[in-house]
A and B are shown apart, each in its own frame.
Chain A
């Protein structure tokens, strides 16, 4: 059965959270990982919707380090008070 954007968002969030501090994922990495994990139950469009949900809700934020990544909100290393 097709996965909902909410279910995909949860799976993506777990992936990003588990990798925090070790690896940064680009949105397309997450999109590809979900298609590998859920096969025919997801498509690229629903994965894009899931990313939108994650970012609009503040569960993930975009970051830029040479390229754009999705991460758990955190205090960044370069920040000053």
Chain B
């Protein structure tokens, strides 16, 4: 137990207000953990001197694994000896982030015994994050986590812990079973998750519908977003009930449809489904009247990333529609080909989206043996990467070369 908490006037400011405060939580943990008391001391010093006092460790991990532990040491071990080591462990969360309280208590007991006791539920990749332990505690923690059927997640140049929305377990819009797919991919790619072999990280995120609650289109190298390929299911009586109830259908639904494919004549809503972009807007506004179609699957998109090393990217369409049924073999074959090409040709710390930009979408598609289709292009004549070779005469190329 920490004898006395350090004096932290700057951190104390962050306890004010009615919102949750990480300072309050660390102080609470510091009553039991000397590590947390020194954490407060070092953090206050960083705030005062405007200097970060952490050193990144590169080597810590558990035997056989290349990911899941992020090494961190204090640069001031004499002043703050209890955070001399302060490594993070990432625990692979269950699909959809469902735990029972018994499982959470067991994890917390392990963490209070071997670490600081403070956690972050959840990190941006999705893992349950355990913050602050010593190198010699890593193997014992790993052993105890395995005994309660938890494994550590990904870090470094590997498949990062896949994550998904709650999908069909709770959400009526789910167009496929995101939790089943996320679990299946996690188990299938155990080697790729624990043994880094790629140029850089590779994330999977599974969203059950285009509302994309896990932000897969912005946050994952491969985004698997539920969709449908037939028509929106429509209940005309319920549409009318919305309008009678005061919904301004022209303003709030029709004018905001990105496909410009809806019309309202005062009595009936018409949707030209061939122009529908499957954006979910109208369904979100009138959930009792409209539903996704019945022929459901997913759109697979590739290439997004947050701005590390280079700028942010959004994923773009690779497969417009695929049925999401186990064992997902067709998709896994494409993933293997993507990894093969990217691993061979990618530069160090180059994400797959950046790799595609560098080599060109046309070359990339050829290498992974996927035919270009119109859905890969945002607007006609806007994508310079795709050439339909049958429209080129051989002479054209030679003429071009001379120029």
Contacts and interface: CB of A to CB of B under 8 A. Distances in A.
Interface in A26-81: 26-28, 31-32, 48, 51-52, 55-56, 58, 61-68, 71, 73-74, 76, 78-81
Interface in B162-220: 191, 195-200
Nearest to B342: A28
A67 B56 contact: no
Contact of A80 (B77, B157, B344, B349): B77
Contacts of A68: 66-67, 156-158, 196
Contacts of A78: 55-58, 71, 73
Nearest to A61: B59
User: Most chain-A Cβ atoms within 10 A of its Cβ — which of B58, B155, B199, B200?
Assistant: B58
Contact of B156 (A51, A55, A62, A79): A62
Contacts of A61: 59, 61
Contacts of B374: none
Contacts of B158: 68
Q: Is the interface of B mostly helix, strand, loop or mixed?
A: loop
Contact of A79 (B64, B73, B191, B199): B73
Contacts of A67: 156-157, 196, 199-200, 348-349
Given A58-B63, A76-B57, A80-B77, A64 B155 contact: yes
Contacts of A51: 195, 197
Interface in B43-82: 55-59, 61, 63-67, 70-71, 73-74, 77
B231 interface: no
Contacts of B61: 61-62
B194 to A, nearest CB: 9
Nearest to A31: B197
B74 A66 contact: no
A65 B58 contact: yes
B92 interface: no
User: Most chain-B Cβ atoms within 10 A of its Cβ — which of A28, A31, A56, A65?
Assistant: A28
A31 B344 CA distance: 10
Interface string A1-28: 0000000000000000000000000111
B84 A64 contact: no
A56 B65 CA distance: 8
A64 B85 contact: no
B343 interface: yes
A64 B158 CA distance: 11
B59 A63 contact: yes
Contacts of A32: 344
Contacts of A66: 348-349
A26 B71 CA distance: 19
Contacts of B67: 62, 68
Given A61-B61, A80-B73, A52 B56 contact: no
User: Most chain-B Cβ atoms within 10 A of its Cβ — which of A74, A80, A81?
Assistant: A80
Contacts of B197: 27-28, 31, 48, 51
A27 B59 contact: no
12 contacts: A26-B157, A26-B199, A28-B199, A48-B191, A55-B66, A64-B66, A65-B58, A67-B156, A67-B196, A68-B67, A79-B59, A80-B74
Interface of A: 26-28, 31-32, 48, 51-52, 55-56, 58, 61-68, 71, 73-74, 76, 78-81
